[in-house]
């Protein structure tokens, strides 16, 4: 596999690379990103290696991220044509103005026009709802997005960081009203964030949404810079967000297993972690956030990794999240419904607590 092993995003004809270049690190405005020269080199390197998918947001580095992409990609028509640009709206970049945040029609149109200007393009390939707005009627949001698609200013729509039930509600309403439907779901997903597998991932599979995981390395925690030898000393976004790098034993277990498998493949733990998430059911393109060309090349190496079934199972086992109510109950349903009957090649495991149940006895 390579960056040119393109995948269609959800139920659409939009073809994207298996790794998406995340632009939250574009610009130093937030104190930890890459400068303009380094960012420009990263964009050019990614495109030269065959990548075609760049993801940003109106809020990233105080709008600077979109402007950098506009200067490098949007301003060059031939480069723009071959590049899929995704950006987001909902977060407010105009402090004090209640109508420039959220997903109402006025907010959408205002932010869309500003993003188009900064990106130096007359259309956006994929426009994401950055986070769900519970203060705006869902119908207003979906109708406004549909109008923007019909106007030609955006081509496709997606949704990020929203409850499964709201996404399903919106997708169903769009289907019934013949509005534009979501083709993508952007969620945090990694070996250390698997709670999305409870409802969000199954929903995406059922409704035809291509998943684009963000923070697949958990803010750098799975990049290889954290290990038992330097415990508490490594820096990075994870340490900054969490007030240090004191890890739990479960986190260390995942890091240890990544390191073990990385040595077998003669690669980095980051490449193994990216390969794991990029091959999970429903995942189309994994968003990588880097600050240097060296980090970019190391992450791209994940496209050459082919984990064995045993290696994948080992990573699954060491990273399994606590079971939710639905997951615990789901294990009992096949036995309650069908007993030990095999259906579609699946035979339920015996559950001790149900052993004495004898339906139909009387």
Cα torsion 212, 214, 218, 222: sign: positive
Residue 251 CB contacts under 8 Å (≥ 6 apart), including other chains: 192, 221
Buried b (16+ CB within 10 A) or exposed e, 205-217: eebbbbbbbbbbb
DSSP string, 84-111: EEEEEE-S-SSTT-TTSSSSSHHHHHHH
Q: Does residue 60 carry a catalytic annotation?
A: yes
SS3 146: helix
SS3 299: helix
Give the helix, strand, coil percentages of the chain, each rounded to 5.
45, 15, 40
Catalytic entry in 46, 60, 156, 189: 60
DSSP annotation of 321: P
Are 73 and 43 contacting, i.e. CB atoms less than 8 angstroms apart? Answer: yes
Distance, in Å, from the CA atom of 265 to the CA atom of 304, rounded to the nearest integer, reads 10
Active site residue ranges: 60
């Amino acid at each position: 596999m390579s960056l040119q092993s393109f995948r269609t995003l959800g139920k659409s004809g939009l073809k994207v690379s298996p790794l998406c270049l995340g632009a939250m690190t574009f610009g130093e405005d937030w104190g930890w990103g890459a400068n303009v020269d380094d960012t420009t080199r990263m964009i050019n390197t990614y495109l030269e290696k065959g990548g075609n998918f760049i993801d940003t947001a109106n809020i990233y580095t105080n709008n600077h991220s979109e402007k950098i992409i506009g200067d490098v990609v949007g301003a060059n028509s031939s480069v723009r044509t071959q590049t899929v640009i995704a950006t987001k709206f909902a977060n407010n970049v105009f402090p004090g103005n209640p109508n420039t945040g959220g997903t109402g029609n006025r907010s959408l149109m205002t932010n869309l026009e500003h993003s188009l200007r900064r990106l130096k393009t007359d259309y956006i390939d994929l426009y994401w709802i950055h986070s769900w707005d519970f203060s705006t009627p869902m119908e207003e949001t979906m109708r406004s997005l549909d109008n923007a698609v019909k106007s030609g200013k955006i081509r496709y729509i997606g949704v990020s960081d929203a409850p499964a039930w709201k996404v399903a509600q919106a997708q169903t309403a769009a289907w019934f009203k013949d509005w534009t439907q979501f083709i993508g779901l952007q969620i945090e997903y990694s070996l250390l964030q698997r709670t999305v597998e409870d409802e969000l991932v199954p929903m995406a599979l059922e409704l035809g949404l291509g998943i684009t995981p963000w923070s697949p390395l958990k803010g750098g925690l799975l990049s290889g810079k954290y290990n038992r030898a330097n415990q508490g000393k490594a820096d990075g976004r994870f340490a900054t967000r969490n007030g240090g790098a004191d890890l739990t034993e479960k986190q260390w277990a995942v890091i240890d297993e990544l390191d073990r498998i990385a040595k077998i493949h003669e690669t980095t733990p980051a490449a193994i972690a990216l390969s794991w998430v990029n091959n999970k059911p429903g995942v189309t393109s994994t968003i990588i956030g880097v600050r240097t060309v060296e980090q970019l090349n190391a992450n791209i190496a994940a496209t050459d990794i082919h984990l064995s079934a045993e290696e994948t199972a080992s990573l699954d086992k060491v990273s399994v999240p606590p079971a939710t109510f639905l997951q615990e109950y789901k294990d009992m349903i096949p036995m309650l419904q069908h007993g030990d009957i095999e259906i579609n090649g699946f035979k339920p495991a015996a559950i001790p607590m149900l052993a004495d149940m004898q339906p139909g006895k009387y």
